[in-house]
Structure 1
């Protein structure tokens, strides 16, 4: 007979419990030696699992056969907590009756009562991690019937406190009444009524004072909550609203000012009806609670210095209706700020009493201008923007009327403004926009053509009356090749009585304009040379020997050398001629017109002037710009023949300077750079490198390499080798670069010219298809698939195209979700199923594309919807390297906007356990239980209005939108749990049994983890 496997017996027991197989369980316990206290891999006994997922009969059977009621799970929970968490009253009664019986046995033992209590699990036992009682758990999870059973039958403590005040862990203490107020109105009312009827109260049992956090939550909830407290906890409620004052640091509040501070005007009005004092008198009847007082101040003195009378607080918080009610109930119309309060006023610092504040608010509201409002980008110019502006305008107008009524009331009661108060209306704003737009650029060619142009032959330089006339004449002379007029205007005096000095070439030159450019564009190259010579002799600081040569070259019968010297002695330019040549952009003009002669001349002129390092860099950039953006390959050839660019050596005045190397920015081949820029014309040129190489060889043959140490011939050979290496550098990635460029025609061209590049991998292991996915080039993706690219290709991390498309390695979501969704829906479904089930090795390992996307918290857009529509349930059932299904991740991160579509796609996965024994539903429950203790407020307990800390005129327009429902809170644990519970109840937990993690799955998870 084979040896028994105790692990198999243990596993079978847990399976029987989960399957609620009572017959099988009875048979197993009667025929095998099974340890009921044995733990599964999640640290649970059979009884724990029965309470979590079994039936009341299974629980009773295990208890009757000796299952230990005092055992705790690995997460620090006892059976009473598990029963309360589940909310099944039959299971709760089964457990509690057995616990009560066990407790009575222990109580009968001859030991001190405190020791007896500590040894056993009881109705008020607290969980080990967050210190929650069964009653708190039942209330927090809205298990009304279970909570009622705990209170009425088992006498649970209705005032028990959960949690721990620990700033490092980010936790707080919470009263069970606070947990009740997290729920919707009907559930909240039922639980509050039940708890108050069983002894719960506003009184903090640990401090014998009114709980501020509990009262504040009651104020925020309102919705009859105050009525319930006033009826069922009348004594404590009355004491709270009439006597309690809380002092903390520099803040002092009572319930009425707490409501005002929170922007709860209607609640404040209700408190007054219940008897809250409209004016607080500081006497011995006040119950002052010092919450945090690090400076050791006297609480009574601190309250007097920091307490704002309700009418002052209402005036500041823009509640004029409340002010009128306060005045009617006896508030002092001359209420004044204390000196301490006045010192710390952040707004309206000149105000000292309530009427001051009202007048300051009215001035502020009246000065509001709706034309200065700015809406969000998504609503700008839409009907919604107009609605928001109209609503804000109406709200401001209504507030002005209410403040005016409050002002009249105050004045009628004898209120006066403070001495020296100086409130002035804002002056009418003056527009800073000039009436006439200034032209900050050179006129375009079309603008220039519209200007009246006089023929230079008709111009007499002695009759030009203004400087502008002289400038226009100079341009006309350059355009028409009139050298005599050019010299007359720049080498001597001109105008009536020769009153104007020579025109400085630099004064009428600049970026993409000037006499030099005009001459070049008109193909008057001799005139252009003359202009450069004139600009040179006009330059200050030029050596005499250099000037003399130019004087002789420029001199003629009308302008002898001495005459030129005398005239130019009057004007000196600080701008060198080379700057005029470079700034003119004459090379660009030649490239634009596709004129080889013009381009050659421009390159010659740039090379003829002395150059500095910055000029060398400019030429390198120009050569590179031709690669990236040029549409005329001949321009690149001409530039290379003359300069050898973009290599660092440069030809200047016939001499070769620099080194035959590339700077760090330009290491990629010109083919890749052209493809990256989407330049189809230049890619076509560089795919056959013969013409480019011929240009570089021409440069090498026609320029002096004797300055190189290796000698001219060897230097030329080294240069050509460097060029060839550069031209061929990683050229097999040209398709990758074309994909990034977004030029679909370029992608198609390269595929037709170089089909062998379809599956080439980059250094990162990305094929062109994966590159298209990473950069979200959807059309390129479609083109590549049609061309036969392997759709199942993966990178070194095992990520396929869906992994990379849905969430890129750089952390980008899909930018065009509708477009991507359309492509995904059009793809073959069997292929999509294969892609969706592929797992990657990226941490934590084992993630499918959908799981990887969800782990990065995506928006619920069209892509997410399309993926769920395409996918079968298998990807949602898979555990990743951390042991989570995608639904575990959704609930663990409280993605309330994703929870419903994921559960509706695969509702059974709600009951799939992770290695810690938690289903997605369990995770949602835990997040909800821990959420309030971790300071998360449910959406039912949050304000639905814009925060009241700022004036209404400073509220953004979206706060007046038709769909605005309060400040946005992402990752809402309560809403995630609420939706999960709703869908779990609608599907029925019995329909989908709990699925435990198998040993095979554990081994697989361990493999991914490695």
Structure 2
């Protein structure tokens, strides 16, 4: 009981400090038994909290009542570190002045033993240079990294802080590095950067370590990138070390050897290179003992100087290769050797021009490359450019022209100074470039019937006047006459052209039917489309005799051959003459192939002509059935289910074939019954709904009609009785049909909403309202499925029809959870404007419940907004709408990890989402998570640690296209006037900068820190315990809904 009272008393004390209530604090501290050194769940004392969030008066009051100033947190931070991070000068002074007198100045060194007990707060001395336990940061480093200029100045001037320190430790496994304090200062905007760099240089910071004779390369490189901002400050306040660095320091990393000047050139910082030359950087480096050489790996038996000399490029060579002809001229003016050259080993590491050795070689090679470029080569596979692209192309052309002019001037100067081309150098020759022609556009979306009609249009428009086949002069005239005869139903002309010689003096042999037939074309198809069915049969007979080799025909097929010849024989063509046709024509194609390739049944379905369709099906059934025919029947039936608009035609087709069930039919007997292939095992009703085929959905909803068609098929084919009676075999077949057609029929509305046919959805909800609340095997109603696939119009139809808007799935996700983030499709919102309008049109009460509802998906307790933020959405119109419509509870709710949405955003450095969220709910910046950290704390930590992890702020990045890419390889957008270098999607510095700016604008003293409570901690613990992970869908290939969501590109496999 006493422990509970003590804990309650401590919580009350922390709450008072968070409110900065000095009166209540003094009253509480006056009560006997209050433990001022009590720690919260994260190991902070009341003083730690006060330094972080309260006023200077609160801190003074706590210290006056005995709070330990030299206490450490369990995270390894002392009071001075928290004060430096806060950046409040008054608080910092109170802390520093309250430290014991022997700890306020520079000590021999802090206790940095990582095994020291974090709870024993007074075992480590606290002083101005104390280092944090984890990342080894001193107070002044923290102040500099967080741009607290006044705080850093006080630490340096008043308390003698060390201004030449490093933070962090190199740890390759964790991706960490050691960072000089100057590097932290160089991350900030220009004015702050200049103030901090100047201050640090005045207090002993330097770019060059005189004891180890090494340079802080990262600092040097940042100073060069920032050129105009800080280089003059280094020259003024660290002149000796800076000048020594740019004139006498050389280093080697792997096969790259550089001085500050050559490194600047290779980074394409031409202006900075000119400035280094003006400060005394040597235009031609002379290797002697005065150089300070640093190597990462030295070859045995060689000195450091010999190692760096082995791979060093003189500045003029680097300038020529990195497309800086102006700098080449400047180097020549300053005394660079025009005949500087590379060794074979040095040239080997060039990306291009490996055969070049001298400066003139490189200049000539560059000129040839640039002159061979033409703007027509910059194609984007379409003719019309946007205005922006036109401007970008003009800018690139202008840049290339300037570069050519500069290289031409450099070439003249080099030749004048006696530069030579290397003998035997394989320099590429200038050639006439052939502009690339844009690709022709491919017309998409042409329907099958349109393609067929296009192919045979000329055939159907053939001249059908009376033709004398004895007067035809060319093969083409004969073909046209044959087509016209097929359309006119002129049997005499067809026989004359295909069963005997024709033309003037009978000089042309019979026309092979196979020669003029093919995919969706030919005499047979023309006859069928003209409804000349008898003629079409005759054409099949002709094709048969043109293919049969009568001399090699076997006896058992001879009667059939004679019968076909007899059907074709007449007064003009005897049976023997018909038989002789195959020798003259030698057709390589069977009549069956000609009939099947014609696709005559497609035209019957397109014209909705039952007579034509039945004839086409009957013509195909005259031939022996092969496995390929069975597969073709199944595919066609499935195509009709997907896109067919004529249920009567579908009915006729399955009466004839029994597809997609794979039956082997031999002489009208079902010799074998094979199961449905996997692609066809899903119910045809669901498949038709999935493709939005309203006509076929109507057909299959009347299941008896479809079953009757299969009964008719079974009645006209004798079943094999080897495995039972005929009746039993038929019953087994019809049972399979029944099960197939009715399987999961109550999911038809689920499938309909995945299609884009809203007429189908409207039809189903009006005729079958019982489907509205049906759940799939994965627990999804049609409303949830519509949300997952982003069908906004379908959602509105379902809600208007009475679908329950608060329905959830097994993970307790409602329609907004699934609408913003689909389990299988991510955050791809196809129409943000439509979704935004839909959300605004919803009932406010229902919408609020949806937005505040929390699901149990890992990590648990996620609102729709919190779940969406985990996937880093774009701050588009939908995001703005969700923020606008959300109540304060949405932003203050903790998930299973104990985080608010803003904690998630700052932890992942989603800088583009921070401002909209803070603007909606500024107070959330000061809400603690279960780790006792506010979003501002998280952003600050990310900024402090970001530099150790290699992140660089926007201010310290080059605004050009990344080097060392040649100008010709730059994309067009890199020449846009607004281009400012590569973008980074996660920027810890920008995240912290936005948060800090918002804090400064709303004056954090007026907004109390919201401490996490025991109730919230218990709730988060329960949420974490109850969390569930999204598992594989319960459905298999038979469950169309699961596959639509999780494998939308697959067709039921």
Fold agreement, TM-score > 0.5: yes
Show CA shifts across 1:345-386 (max 9, x none). Answer: 331233221112112111211221112214599x97321111
> Whole-Å Cα distance in 2 between the matches of residues 357 and 867 of structure 1?
58
Deviation at 1:707, TM superposition (A): 4.2
Q: How many residues are matched?
A: 1004
Residues 941, 441 of structure 1: alpha-carbon distance in 2 compared, 3 angstrom cutoff: same
Deviation at 1:435, TM superposition (A): 12
> Whole-Å Cα distance in 1 between the matches of residues 864 and 935 of structure 2?
19
Contact 1:375 1:956 in 2 (8 A): no
Deviation at 1:823, TM superposition (A): 1.7
Greater mean alpha carbon deviation, residues 887-896 or residues 535-544: 535-544
Q: Could you say which residue in structure 1 is the equivalent of 2:93?
A: 93
Q: Could you say which residue in structure 2 is the equivalent of 1:502?
A: 510
Residues 317, 306 of structure 1: alpha-carbon distance in 2 compared, 3 angstrom cutoff: same
1:572 aligned to 570, 586, 591, which one? 586
Name the SS for the 1:659 alignment partner. Answer: strand
Deviation at 1:654, TM superposition (A): 2.4
> Whole-Å Cα distance in 1 between the matches of residues 170 and 472 of structure 2?
90
> Whole-Å Cα distance in 2 between the matches of residues 760 and 520 of structure 1?
48
Contact 2:460 2:526 in 1 (8 A): no
Show CA shifts across 1:911-945 (max 9, x none). Answer: 00111111000000011000111000000000111
2:229 aligned to 224, 232, 243, which one? 224
Residues 293, 976 of structure 1: alpha-carbon distance in 2 compared, 3 angstrom cutoff: farther
> Whole-Å Cα distance in 1 between the matches of residues 129 and 222 of structure 2?
24
Q: Could you say which residue in structure 2 is the equivalent of 1:551?
A: 565
Contact 2:664 2:672 in 1 (8 A): yes
Q: Could you say which residue in structure 1 is the equivalent of 2:793?
A: 779
Deviation at 1:3, TM superposition (A): 8.6
Q: Where in structure 2 are the equivalents of 1:62-81 lying within 5 Å? A: 62-81=62-81
1:458 aligns with 2:471: no
Show CA shifts across 1:734-790 (max 9, x none). Answer: 111111111111111111111221222122211111111111111111112222221
Q: Could you say which residue in structure 2 is the equivalent of 1:182?
A: 187
Deviation at 1:548, TM superposition (A): 4.1
Q: Could you say which residue in structure 2 is the equivalent of 1:393?
A: 397
Name the SS for the 2:959 alignment partner. Answer: coil
Q: Could you say which residue in structure 1 is the equivalent of 2:718?
A: 704
1:931 aligned to 946, 949, 968, which one? 946
> Whole-Å Cα distance in 1 between the matches of residues 106 and 645 of structure 2?
94
2:616 aligned to 583, 602, 605, which one? 602
> Whole-Å Cα distance in 1 between the matches of residues 306 and 544 of structure 2?
84
Contact 2:467 2:481 in 1 (8 A): no
Q: Where in structure 2 are the equivalents of 1:909-920 lying within 5 Å? A: 909-920=924-935
Greater mean alpha carbon deviation, residues 574-583 or residues 123-132: 574-583
1:798 aligns with 2:812: yes
Q: Could you say which residue in structure 1 is the equivalent of 2:140?
A: 135
1:865 aligns with 2:861: no
Show CA shifts across 1:516-542 (max 9, x none). Answer: 211211112222222223333333678
Contact 1:607 1:653 in 2 (8 A): no
Deviation at 1:250, TM superposition (A): 0.5
1:995 aligns with 2:1017: no
Greater mean alpha carbon deviation, residues 869-878 or residues 606-615: 606-615
1:152 aligns with 2:157: yes
Residues 962, 3 of structure 1: alpha-carbon distance in 2 compared, 3 angstrom cutoff: closer
Q: Could you say which residue in structure 1 is the equivalent of 2:483?
A: 475
Contact 1:578 1:610 in 2 (8 A): no
Q: Where in structure 2 are the equivalents of 1:846-861 lying within 5 Å? A: 846-861=861-876
Greater mean alpha carbon deviation, residues 485-494 or residues 729-738: 485-494
Name the SS for the 1:656 alignment partner. Answer: strand
1:371 aligns with 2:376: yes
Contact 1:250 1:302 in 2 (8 A): no
Greater mean alpha carbon deviation, residues 597-606 or residues 902-911: 597-606
Q: Where in structure 2 are the equivalents of 1:687-726 lying within 5 Å? A: 687-707=701-721, 709-726=723-740
RMSD: 2.8
Q: Where in structure 2 are the equivalents of 1:868-947 lying within 5 Å? A: 868-947=883-962
Residues 584, 847 of structure 1: alpha-carbon distance in 2 compared, 3 angstrom cutoff: same
> Whole-Å Cα distance in 2 between the matches of residues 194 and 430 of structure 1?
57
> Whole-Å Cα distance in 2 between the matches of residues 612 and 285 of structure 1?
90
Contact 1:490 1:502 in 2 (8 A): yes
> Whole-Å Cα distance in 1 between the matches of residues 771 and 279 of structure 2?
81
Deviation at 1:450, TM superposition (A): 8.0
Q: Could you say which residue in structure 1 is the equivalent of 2:458?
A: 448
1:242 aligns with 2:251: no
Name the SS for the 1:458 alignment partner. Answer: coil
Q: Could you say which residue in structure 2 is the equivalent of 1:124?
A: 129
> Whole-Å Cα distance in 2 between the matches of residues 104 and 185 of structure 1?
32
> Whole-Å Cα distance in 1 between the matches of residues 73 and 621 of structure 2?
84
Residues 558, 729 of structure 1: alpha-carbon distance in 2 compared, 3 angstrom cutoff: same
Deviation at 1:1004, TM superposition (A): 0.9
Greater mean alpha carbon deviation, residues 445-454 or residues 52-61: 445-454
Contact 1:244 1:287 in 2 (8 A): yes
Q: Could you say which residue in structure 2 is the equivalent of 1:956?
A: 971
Contact 2:104 2:127 in 1 (8 A): no
TM superposition score normalised by structure 1: 0.95
Contact 1:355 1:407 in 2 (8 A): yes
Q: Could you say which residue in structure 1 is the equivalent of 2:46?
A: 46
Residues 992, 105 of structure 1: alpha-carbon distance in 2 compared, 3 angstrom cutoff: closer
Greater mean alpha carbon deviation, residues 692-701 or residues 894-903: 692-701
Q: Could you say which residue in structure 2 is the equivalent of 1:283?
A: 288
Which 5+ residue runs of structure 2 have no aligned equivalent? 1026-1053
Q: Could you say which residue in structure 2 is the equivalent of 1:31?
A: 31
1:263 aligns with 2:262: no
Deviation at 1:578, TM superposition (A): 2.3
Q: Could you say which residue in structure 2 is the equivalent of 1:516?
A: 524
Greater mean alpha carbon deviation, residues 875-884 or residues 123-132: 123-132
> Whole-Å Cα distance in 2 between the matches of residues 42 and 967 of structure 1?
39
Q: Where in structure 2 are the equivalents of 1:309-348 lying within 5 Å? A: 309-348=314-353
Residues 22, 711 of structure 1: alpha-carbon distance in 2 compared, 3 angstrom cutoff: same
Q: Could you say which residue in structure 2 is the equivalent of 1:581?
A: 595
Contact 1:367 1:426 in 2 (8 A): yes
Deviation at 1:228, TM superposition (A): 0.3
1:668 aligns with 2:678: no
Greater mean alpha carbon deviation, residues 346-355 or residues 85-94: 346-355
Show CA shifts across 1:198-233 (max 9, x none). Answer: 111112478341111110111011123110000100
Residues 436, 309 of structure 1: alpha-carbon distance in 2 compared, 3 angstrom cutoff: closer
1:57 aligns with 2:86: no
Contact 1:644 1:650 in 2 (8 A): no
Deviation at 1:341, TM superposition (A): 1.7
Name the SS for the 1:649 alignment partner. Answer: strand
Contact 1:708 1:715 in 2 (8 A): no
Greater mean alpha carbon deviation, residues 707-716 or residues 899-908: 707-716
Greater mean alpha carbon deviation, residues 945-954 or residues 922-931: 945-954
Greater mean alpha carbon deviation, residues 953-962 or residues 566-575: 566-575
Show CA shifts across 1:169-190 (max 9, x none). Answer: 1111100000000000000000
Name the SS for the 1:252 alignment partner. Answer: strand
Show CA shifts across 1:482-507 (max 9, x none). Answer: 33333333333333444333333222
Contact 2:72 2:78 in 1 (8 A): yes
Which 5+ residue runs of structure 1 have no aligned equivalent? none
Deviation at 1:690, TM superposition (A): 2.9
Q: Could you say which residue in structure 2 is the equivalent of 1:21?
A: 21
Contact 1:323 1:406 in 2 (8 A): yes
Residues 355, 623 of structure 1: alpha-carbon distance in 2 compared, 3 angstrom cutoff: same
Residues 498, 996 of structure 1: alpha-carbon distance in 2 compared, 3 angstrom cutoff: same
Contact 1:609 1:653 in 2 (8 A): no
Contact 1:70 1:78 in 2 (8 A): yes
Contact 2:379 2:436 in 1 (8 A): no
> Whole-Å Cα distance in 2 between the matches of residues 443 and 685 of structure 1?
28
Contact 2:10 2:38 in 1 (8 A): yes
Contact 2:261 2:273 in 1 (8 A): yes
